[in-house]
Amino acid sequence: MTVKPKSSVKSKTSSKHKAAVKPNKKISSRQSDFLHLAEDIISNVGVGIYIVQHGKFIFASPLYQRLTGYSATDIIGHNSLDHVHPDDKAMVWTKAIKNLKGKSHSYVYKFIRKNGEEMWILEMVTSITYKGERAALGSFMDITEHKRMEDELRRSEEKYRTILENIEDGYVELDLRGNFIFFNEALCRIQGYPKEELIKKNYRDLMDEENAKKIYEKYNKVYTTGESEKEVQYEIITKSGIRKYLETSVTPMKDASGRIFAFRGIVRDRTEHRQAEETLRQSEERYRNILESIQEGYFELDLAGNYTFVNKANCILLGYTKEELVGMNYRQHTNEENAKKLYQPYRELYRTGKPIETLEVESIRKDGTKVIYETSVSLIRDSEGKPIGFRGVSRDITERKQIEEKIRHSEERYRNIIEQMEDGYFEADFTGKFTFVNDAECKNLGYTREELTV
């Protein structure tokens, strides 16, 4: 009996069949890796993921559950709108339907967590196929803190915007090219332009070349140094052609990295102030010219007795230049005895405010000679009525006093002669009444001097 040996060649059909049903371990392993990766992403990405089908949850990621406080048991199989805030349900439904029908867009709404707290959600849904049927894949992000900060920022901006709109001073922000980017209503009034026109302007459009150059130098300095500038004065020309004098501060606006990207400033209209200053200057100049032209000396002292102003005549009176007198104390040209005499009436003037009508003063001129003058003095008060100094007018009476002294000496000399005469001497007025008699005449008539000159 012959036994056929087994063929060492396998059937092609058999080999092909086995190759078709043999699993590919590499592909299976890769799919498993991707599955685990997808689970890790869903668990750790900062967005909650959920799937809704036929209006009910069929999946909610762990993060979604942590964010909302609801477990899978609480939400799987339940309506997707159950925990949306009642005020937002209609809006969320409408937005979700639009997203599923076309291009997805995010929307914001309020959600009620399991503990009853409200949270703000940024959500976006897109259409997917799950087990052969259409479903909605949603991304669910908690933006409560972001929304809170937005609300605080909005309230803060609203508060400060309200303040800016109610202050009298102008507020302005300019970009690095000098274009207006923000300002309040007060600035519109100051500049004389409506808001819609001013926002299109550059600061150069509102002033002449000289002032534009001045402003540029200040802004350039702030940009270069990073330090603010205060009390920058300049002129503008309003829309109606009126020239105004303004004063502004210039402060750099910096981003988080410290880079200057714009400027801000407070603008004050100083036109009336400037005009008042000019009027005052002209008035002071006019009265100063008058004071310089009068023959009487005019002076002003502070409460300590230091000269703060003198006219030319007062300088001539005391023999000092104006530069020497201003800042000098009156005691420096008055001896101690006369300084004491002056102190009391000035003290009384300060206490009562009643002007000194006439006060005789003796001083020493710069060259050492004596000068005598009569002065009238009154208080200088500030805008609140508080005494801040003294002002006075002085008249040189040195020559008059010298003549008076000579007359006194002359009268005294001749009176002594008359008194020593043996002959009687008398003086009488037109009515015959004695006005003077010497001793000899008294003896002749037998009356005392007092009896005769009554």
List of residues 6+ apart from 350 with CB closer than 8 A: 303, 379, 387
Quote the CA–CA distance of 172 and 198 in Å, as a whole number: 11
CB-based contact 396:297 (threshold 8 Å): yes
Q: DSSP letters of 63-85? A: HHHHHH---HHHHBTSBTTTTB-
Q: What is the pTM of this model?
A: 0.44
Instruction: Determine what percent of the chain is predicted with pLDDT higher than 90.
Output: 59
Query: What CATH fold (topology level) applies to the domain 294-401?
Result: Beta-Lactamase (3.30.450)
Q: Quickly list DSSP for 263-329.
A: EEEEEEE-HHHHHHHHHHHHHHHHHHHHHHHSSSEEEEEETTSBEEEE-HHHHHHHT--HHHHTT-B
CATH number, span 42-147: 3.30.450.20
For the cut 50, the answer to whether the pLDDT of residue 450 exceeds it is: yes
**Equal CATH topology for 42-147 and 167-274:** yes
Task: Evaluate whether 121 touches 143 at the Cβ level (below 8 Å).
Answer: yes
More reliable by pLDDT, 20 or 74:
74
The residues spanned by each domain of the chain are 42-147, 167-274, 294-401, 421-452
- Strand order of the β-sheet with 297-302 is 307-310, 297-302, 387-396, 370-381, 356-364
Number of H-type helices and E-type strands within the chain = 16, 17
Single out the residue of 379, 376, 372 nearest to residue 398, CA to CA: 372
CATH architecture of 167-274: 2-Layer Sandwich (3.30)
Q: Which two tokens stand for residue 454?
A: 């009554």
Q: Looking at the predicted structure, is the pLDDT value of residue 44 above 60?
A: no
- One-letter amino acid at 138 equals G
* Short-list 214, 262, 265, 263, CA closest to 236: 214
Q: What's the rounded mean pLDDT across residues 315-330?
A: 94
Which of 22-26, 267-271, 288-292, 299-303 is least confident? 22-26
Percent of the chain with pLDDT over 70: 90
